[in-house]
Amino acid sequence: MQLFKNGRRRLAQGLGAVLLSTLMPTMSVQAETYGPVKAGESLWTIARKAAPGKNPTQVMQALFASNPNAFVNGDMSRLKVGASLNLDTSAVAATSAAAAAAPAPAAVKPAAKASTSATSAQTPKPTATPPSAAAAGSPATAPAASTQPAAATTPSPTPSGVAAAEIVKLVGRASAATEQGDIRPLSQGNPVNTGETVVTAPASFVRMKLSDGGYILLRPSTRFQIAQYKYTDSADDSVGLFNLLKGGFRAVTGTIGKRNKNAVSYRTAVATIGIRGTDLEAIDCTDGCPDLGTDIDPGLYFKTHAGEIDVAGKQFPAGTGGFKPVTGDPTEIKFASDKNPLNNDPTPTADPNECGGT
């Protein structure tokens, strides 16, 4: 059993080193290690520093595989404070050879359970109260709908807990809740993982940058889940599936949607929104939107700022808005019409480059 564990560890480290050598071929000798990890730092932010311009999700997986002792109980989201991460690519060949010679566990994935022994102190998993339990509520279960977008090839599943986005702007308060019910407060620079639900408090806004370069901005009193997210070099194996459980958002499509228009969708209580390389805005008023201060019909309101969206089988090109009632077909509303509550209280742009980088 010990030989198996040692072999599995060498395999994970070897495969991680191969990934690191591919993703960071130009790293200098001075950058062969990173650390000690400081309180508040995440694997996401370290990956972006270590390999700027590379896919941060892939860099994170490589770092995780090559540094199993730097994580609490083999949990990628629980990086130990005080740990040093190995970024050395000069030993790739030797490490890979050792992994290849390791006993049988060839089917074990690089991110298999890592060793929990380390000299640094373990950081407990944070728990916190949601920013506003009364207004935002506890995270809800995703709407009962298809769990896969209509892509030509079904992407392989992505495990929850893998970082999908980073908080690049936070005004007010927000939290993230896992599918298991663990809740943590969010701050600027924090990652948001696949499977997590972001909850914004009243008078609060959150802007997230996805690893594929897309942006999502959440309105106050919103619950928004990254239900399934995977960004790889393959268009057919990448997917972005999001659930609007309450409130509203504005989103700008990243690489995933630009490569495969069927790979990104937003599910709501009354309809699924498909995209066509898009800047879109939507708010769920199925239970009313009293915070907007207007008396409106219950349902989903939306606007297309660029590209085109598909709502319940009907297309809405750029410069149009619409309404989908709880029952019945969606109808078009003029883009600037005061019948659309989004015009009474517009959502800020999702892309910070369109508002001076703020």
Domain boundaries along the sequence of the chain: 2-100, 163-355
Q: Which two tokens stand for residue 231?
A: 């960004």
**Alpha carbon distances (Å) from 30 to 27, 48, 68, 90:** 8, 17, 22, 12
Residue 55: what pLDDT?
73
Does the domain made of 163-355 have the CATH classification 3.40.50.150? no
Rg (Cα) of the chain, in Å, rounded?
22
At residue 268, what is the residue type?
Answer: T
CA distance 133 to 202: 11
At residue 98, what is the residue type?
Answer: A
Q: Which two tokens stand for residue 239?
A: 């997917």
Q: First CA to last CA across the chain, in angstroms?
A: 54
- The CA dihedral of 161, 162, 165, 171, to the nearest 10 degrees, is 20
Place of tokens 């590379």: 54
CA distance 271 to 300: 8
Name the stretches of the chain with pLDDT < 50.
1-13, 15, 17-18, 21, 23-30, 89-153
Residue 150: what pLDDT?
41
Neighbours of 324 (CB within 10 A): 24
Place of tokens 């994580």: 71
Adjacent-strand bridge partners of 197: 177, 225
CA distance 309 to 320: 10
pTM beyond cutoff 0.85 = no
Residue 43: what pLDDT?
77
Strands annotated E in 150-238: 163-171, 174-177, 183-185, 191-193, 197-200, 205-210, 215-218, 223-230
pLDDT tens digits, one per residue of 101-154 = 444 333 333 333 333 333 333 333 444 434 333 333 444 443 444 334 444 445
Nearest to 187, CA basis, from 201, 197, 174, 204: 174
Residue 220 per-residue DSSP state:
T
Tell me how many degrees the CA angle 66-166-25 measures, rounded to the nearest 5.
40
Residue 147: what pLDDT?
37
Nearest to 340, CA basis, from 350, 349, 351, 330: 330
